[in-house]
Structure formats: C-alpha cells, structure tokens
Amino acid sequence: MEKDFVFHNPTKIYFGRHAMTHLKDELENYGENILLAYGGGSIKKNGIYDEVIKALKETNKNIIEFSGIMPNPTLNKMLEGVELVKKHHIDLILAVGGGSVIDLAKGVAVSTYASGDAFERYWLNKEAVDNECVPVGAILTMAGTGSEMNGGSVITDEDRKIKVGRVFGSYNYPKFSILNPLFTLTVPRYQMLSGIFDAFSHLMEQYFSDTDNSVTDYLLESLMRALIDAADVAIEDKDNYEARSNIMWISTLALNTLTGLGKSQDWEVHAIEHQISAYTDCAHGMGLAAISPAYYRYIYPFGIDKFKRFAVNVFKIDAEGKSDEELALAGIDALEDFIVTHAMPNSLKKLGVPRELLSKIADSAALGGGYKKLTREDVYAILYNAYERK
C-alpha cells in the first residue's frame, strides 16, 4: 500500500432479516418533522411503506411525503425536495428505495441551505460545501449503487442534458442505513441485473488503476468473484436469500470507499455512461454493461498486467499457452460473456441508443481515465466500437 489514505465511514449499517426493528430507535435521535422520500410507489405494493409509516407514527413523527423520485433523479426534482425541506423545517430525510432515491435525498440535504445555485456550485464547480446539511437515513430496497454508505449524489440536469456526480464528504453520508435483503426480492429481474452490473462496474473502476499487489486489489478480486457466484445463483433462483444478501452486501462494500483505498481509480466508464443516460434515460447498470467491453478492449494495452491478473483471478482463465495479449483479451471476453449470458446489453444498439447520438455523447462526456487519458476522439471511438456486437 504505497499511497497514503484516510478512511472514515460514519454510516451505521443495520443488515439482515430483522434490520427494520432498529428503525424506531434511530428515529428517536431526530426531531419530529420527517421527509419520507421514495419512488414510483412500489414500496406501497410490497408492504415496505406500511412498515415505515407504522414506525414513524409510533415515534410521533410528522410525515411529509416526497414521492415520484425517478431512476435518474433530476435537478428539478431535487429543487422540489429543497422547497419541501424549507417549508416544513425537516429534521431528517428518510430515503426508502434504491440508489436514485438515496442520491436525490443527499442532493436535497446538501442543497437546502446553500447560498446561490447549489447545483452549479457543488456539482459543476466542485466547490467545498460551506453550509449545514440535513441528516439523511436510508432504507435500501434495491442493491447496486452503494449510495447507502457513501457521500455520492448523481443528478441529471434535463435542460442541459448533463448527468453529474459529486462525492461529498462524511458530513453528507447517510447517518444510518437499513439493509434487509428480503426487500430486494420483489425488484424486477431487469433492475436486479442492472444493479448487479452497477456494483461489478464500481469494483472494476477501482481495480483497473495502478499495477500493484495491494490489499485493496485482493479485496476487489474477491468481491468480483463473489458477485459472479452470487449473481449466477440469484438469476436461477430469485428468492435465494443467501445469494441476494451477498449481492446486497457486496454492492455496499463496492462503493463505501473501502475498495478504493490506496488506488488512483478510473471512473471513465461511468463518465461516458452518465452522458448516455442523460440523453436516453437508460438504466444505469445496463448502460455500463453496454459500454464496458468496448472501453476495456480500448485501454487494456496500457495496463496489460492488471488485465492478465483479472482474467486469471476473477474469471479463472488458464494462462498456459496464452500470450500476454491473448490472456488479457480472454478476460475481457469472459466479462462480455457474463453480460450476454445474463441477458444484459453488450452493445449500445441493444440498449436502444440511436447511432446519431454518439457524437453528442462524445462531445459531452467528461474526459479522464486511468491507464489512458482519453480525448474526445477516443471516447467517440469507444462508442463506435460499442454500438453493435453479436
């Protein structure tokens, strides 16, 4: 571990079948006005809403509902939440849902008492936060994003067609998160798969940087291997509690900063996908799946040792008789096979992206990268290569 780091994660996690029993105790730590944030109403169909309302009423809370949060949360929706927090003097934002709901809750939390345009200052200009943040608690219903244990908030400005992520400090982490794997069983298969690949991509974004043999690299390989195994089981048996609980916990660990310690990290796949979804509103994990094989085939020569290791340690490919290039490409081929086998899109065409959008996406994607710093022309080449696959 040659790079210095500071690790501090203040989020308290309640995990397991009985995690919800801790909600009332947590609610006692906050004032009476609670903003209940959730999505399109699925929590009312599966009974989670009733459980939450019961706990809120038993702790004598005033409930202000903030519903209709979309899968790619928008700036306008965030501003709607800001107004509710101000109007009702909210003491806690309780986000019930997947990563999008939690991301938006954190966006509202950091923006409410900001001076000026919070989105411009904090997301676009990356200014330091200089105002009070409203506390956030989370009840997770879909595994994938890791938003339940970090300070990240990804918001889409629909008018400008930009989707921007900002990683805030520990002051904007959820104060507590409740993770009951049973809550994920009613998530549609498509969304389950999207969440699985989102978590897998988080692990790869951190792994494909640097070429050392750090403890973090071994953690990343173990989590990727565990996620592959759990995904295989969950896809065959969607009600398998062990598999679903493993997916949920891997997804949390994949982005709670633990698996990035000592690593320079990459995040260019996410930067490209953010603009794909800004234009198409696609499921985030599916967008990542569509772009990842093309991206990694483009950059592997610049980090070939790590791609060889990925092939052997994650996908268990036999290195005997293979050149360095053949082994590295075999690992990327195995990644694409994982995508295709589990009915995820391995191309932008299958994702439903019109070819004429490729140039606009390339123009607006943030430039960065780990092993290779990308130009606009590089991004366009990756998008072109990702457009159509068998």
Q: How far apart are CA 295 and CA 314, in angstroms?
A: 18
Is residue 336 assigned to a domain?
yes
Among 145, 160, 183, the domain-final residue is 183
Model pLDDT for residues 62-118, shown as the tens digit of each residue: 999 999 999 999 999 999 999 999 999 999 999 999 999 999 999 999 999 999 999
Is residue 45 assigned to a domain?
yes
Domain containing 38 equals 12-183
Nearest to 261 by CA among 220, 298, 304: 220
Residues 69, 129 within the same domain: yes
Is residue 248 assigned to a domain?
yes
CB of 71 within 8 A of CB of 40? no
Residue 361 has pLDDT above 80, yes or no: yes
Residue 390 has pLDDT above 80, yes or no: no
Instruction: Put the strands of the sheet holding 33-38 in their side by side order.
Output: 12-15, 176-179, 136-140, 92-97, 33-38, 62-66
Residue 1 has pLDDT above 80, yes or no: no
pLDDT at site 227:
98
How many domains would you assign to the chain? 2
Residue 63 sits at φ, ψ, to 5 deg, of -105, 120
pLDDT at site 80:
98
Give the pLDDT band of residue 220 (cuts 50, 70, 90): very high
Mean pLDDT of all residues belonging to the chain: 96
pLDDT at site 40:
86
Q: At what angle do helices 189-207 and 284-299 cross, to 10 degrees?
A: 30
Can you give the three-state secondary structure of 313-348, one letter per residue?
A: HCCCCCCCCCCHHHHHHHHHHHHHHHHHHCCCCCCH
- State the DSSP code for 378: H
Is residue 4 assigned to a domain?
no
Is residue 296 assigned to a domain?
yes
Residues 197, 334 within the same domain: yes
Model pLDDT for residues 129-181, shown as the tens digit of each residue: 999 999 999 999 999 999 999 999 999 999 999 999 999 999 999 999 999 99
Q: How far apart are CA 337 and CA 327, in angstroms?
A: 15
pLDDT at site 276:
97
Residues 287, 243 within the same domain: yes
As given in the structure block, the two tokens for residue 352 are: 């439903």
Residues 149, 234 within the same domain: no
pLDDT at site 367:
92
Is residue 7 assigned to a domain?
no
Whole-structure pTM value: 0.96
Is residue 1 assigned to a domain?
no
